[in-house]
Every structure is written in C-alpha cells, then in structure tokens.
Structure 1
C-alpha cells in the first residue's frame, strides 16, 4: 500500500507512521533561511489540521520576516525509537499576524499538556495587546522513514 510510495509523494501523509507523528507530542523542527542568509532549525509545538502543519510564534520574532522573505521550509517530526520514526515535510510557510492568541497555539498546548494545564499555559500569555504570527505549512513534499517498512535511500537494497 503506501509503503511502496516514493519519497515526496503527498499520499505519505496518510502513512500510519505519519499519522502517528502528526498526532503525537513530538516537536516539529522547522528548517528555514534566516534574514542573514544562514540556515536555522527551530523546534516548535504544532497542530495538524488535516491540510496544514500550523505553528505559532509571538509578534516581533525574527523568524517572521525571514519566513516572509523566504517561505520555503522543511519540517521533521520524529520519534527516536527504536526503530526511529520520521516524517519529513517540505512546503511554503504562510505567515499571518494575529491580534491575540493563534487558535492552533491553544489546540497544540491542549494536546501537549492536557486540557487543564494547556489552558493555564495559554492563559498566562493571553494578555491585552499580545500579537502572534500563525505559521502554516501546506505540504508539497512528504517523506516517511520507519526503518522497518520504509528505509532511507542507501538502505533500500535491504527491503524485500
């Protein structure tokens, strides 16, 4: 089934490893190019809405301008295993500034910390005048590695 899809095929988002990682409490690591032209990787909580990986940052963060200037990003969501499980996503980041708390920021906190503690964390930063940026990545490329049914390129010869 989707264990035979080629890396890059968007149908890999439906792979059982991808579904598990998108529902997990693992952080997404977003790679992007900073305003000074150097690469950055930033770990972030995320919310998967079925079409986009949504992250949030507070207004004024340097990554906002960098993502607007160079929106192409790469994400990894991975669990160490053994065996390790990895979801790789590429796509453009759409950045929208929001007055107040980004809805998906609240949803992510509830998933990561539970309803009560998640709401306490959000309430602590939800103050008059707070601004955030909603960062949504709609996948244009997806890859899955689980080291049992989907091996990285050089190890594919080990697959049956």
Structure 2
C-alpha cells in the first residue's frame, strides 16, 4: 500500500496517509491504473488497423527538434527504448515503416496529425497510440505550439 502526503488543516501541515486506491492516490497507488483495457470487437469482430495505432517517430532533422531524451536499458529490458520528444510547430516526420519493433506513443501536450496506414488521425494531450510493426506511419505538428510526446519502442518477440 502506498503512502501519500495529505494536508492536515488542523495543524497546517502535511502528514502521510495510506493510499487505498481512491482518486487522491498517485498513479502507482491505484489498482485501476494498472488495468489494461483491450479493444472491444466491432460488429465484424475485427478492429480496424488504425484504431489503436497512431504514430511515432522522431523528426528527420535537428532543426525540427527542440529537445529529445532517449533512455535505453541495456541488460535490463533488452531492446526497449524510451524517448521524450518536443517537436516545433511545423515540424514533420516522413512516412516510414518499422519492421522489427512495435511503437507506443503518448501525447503529453500540444497537437499533431498522424498518417497511419494511409489514414489521417489527429491527436492531442492524453492520447495513446499503438503502431504495430510493419504499419507505415508519418506525422507532423498541428497548431502553433510544441507537440510533446513520449515514445516506447520494443522489438517483436
């Protein structure tokens, strides 16, 4: 059980309190935060390729990139890569395909457009996109603000 700081109005101080999974608990203290929600089957029993696959890749030139942090964990999680990226307004990534790894992209702030398997999808804050290996994708920023997102890339087992 996680301990979280709670404001004690009587003493005007913060005190630790056991987290029971309520809305005040941090992410790591909530049991519901660890549940994976799978896509529901459509009337045809098949989910379209682009429904849960949006986009991710890095800008092709350094001029389009403001900040980029990569975390690789050699020896711990073989082949796993975590990237935090900030793309400038107007930046674009050409359409490409990753044949040997799947990609998850989580948008933190800003907006962008992803082209996944020929379909155009707009993403904004709190959107999570999965791109399986072999699906062509490309992307560019939308609007006049930076697009901030994280990318988790893992090889196919």
> What TM-score do the two structures reach when normalised by structure 1?
0.25
Q: Which has the larger radius of gyration?
A: 2
Structure with the bigger RCO (C-alpha within 8 Å, sep 6+) is: 1
Give the helix-richer structure, 1 or 2. Answer: 1
